[in-house]
């Protein structure tokens, strides 16, 4: 259950960045987590409230977009969608492919509820 460690990392990053802005509460956190990242989005969503309890993130909604695995074929040039455990070109079947999407594990952005509008507009 390494998702707990991932959630702690997300929480720390958000709190550190939020501290540089004025705002009291984080309402939403946007993540990109691909099927080949090794992180399970459903488990992150379940674990995050435990980790975030008592912090400015405790009511934050986690938004994790569905990401598909796509590969670029270095042999025939086709970009195709594949299952996570079979990274071969859908056109010619070769394994000589480059992963284009599917291993993302990124904190994209978060929404901070305003506590001082004037100061925020100054950013």
Partner 1 sequence: MCEVCGCAGGTDHFHVIPAETMTDPGCAGTPPLAPPARGGARAVAREGMSIDVNQALLVANDHVAAHNRAHFDAAGVFVVNLMSSPGSGKTRLLEETIKALGDVLSFGVIEGDLETENDARRIRAAGAPAVQITTGNACHLNAEMVHAALHELDLASIDVLFIENVGNLVCPACFDLGQHRNVVLLAVTEGDDKPEKYPVMFRKADLVLLTKLDLLDAVGDFDPAAARRHVVDLGNDTPVFEVSARSGAGLAAWSAWLASAVGARRHVAASSRMHGHAHEHIPHG
Report the residue number, 2 or 65, with the smaller CB distance to partner 1.
2
Can you give the binding site for partner 1, defined by CB under 8 A? 1-2, 5-6, 9-10, 12-14, 16-21, 23, 27-28, 31, 33, 36-39, 71, 84-88, 95-99, 105-114, 120-121, 123
Instruction: State in angstroms the smallest separation of the CB of 38 from partner 1.
Output: 4
The DSSP symbol for 114 reads -
Query: What does the radius of gyration of the chain's CA atoms come to, in whole angstroms?
Result: 18
Which CB atom, from 18 or from 52, has the smaller least distance to partner 1? Answer: 18
Q: How many CB atoms lie within 10 A of CB 82?
A: 17
Q: How far is the CB of 50 from partner 1 (least distance, A)?
A: 15
Give me 32's structure tokens: 């990109």
Q: What is the 3-state secondary structure (H, E, C) of 46-98?
A: HHHHHHHCCCCCCCCEEEEECCCEEEEECCCCCEEEECCCCCCCCCCCCCCEE
CB of 53 to partner 1, least distance (A): 20
- Closer to partner 1 by Cβ: residue 19 or 68: 19
CB nearer to partner 1: pick between 27 and 49: 27
In angstroms, rounded to a whole number, what is the distance separating the alpha carbons of residues 5 and 12?
11
Q: Give the shortest CB-52-to-partner 1 separation in angstroms.
A: 15
């Amino acid at each position: 259950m390494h998702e707990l460690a991932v959630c702690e990392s997300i929480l720390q990053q958000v709190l550190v960045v939020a501290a540089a802005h004025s705002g009291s509460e984080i309402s939403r956190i946007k993540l990109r987590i691909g099927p080949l990242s090794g992180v399970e989005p459903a488990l992150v969503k379940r674990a995050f409230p435990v980790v975030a309890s008592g912090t400015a993130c405790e009511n934050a909604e986690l938004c994790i977009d569905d990401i598909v695995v796509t590969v670029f074929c270095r042999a025939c040039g086709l970009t195709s969608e594949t299952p996570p455990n079979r990274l071969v070109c859908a056109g010619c079947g070769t394994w000589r492919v480059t992963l284009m999407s599917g291993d993302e594990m990124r904190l994209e952005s978060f929404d901070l509820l305003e506590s001082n509008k004037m100061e925020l507009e100054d950013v």
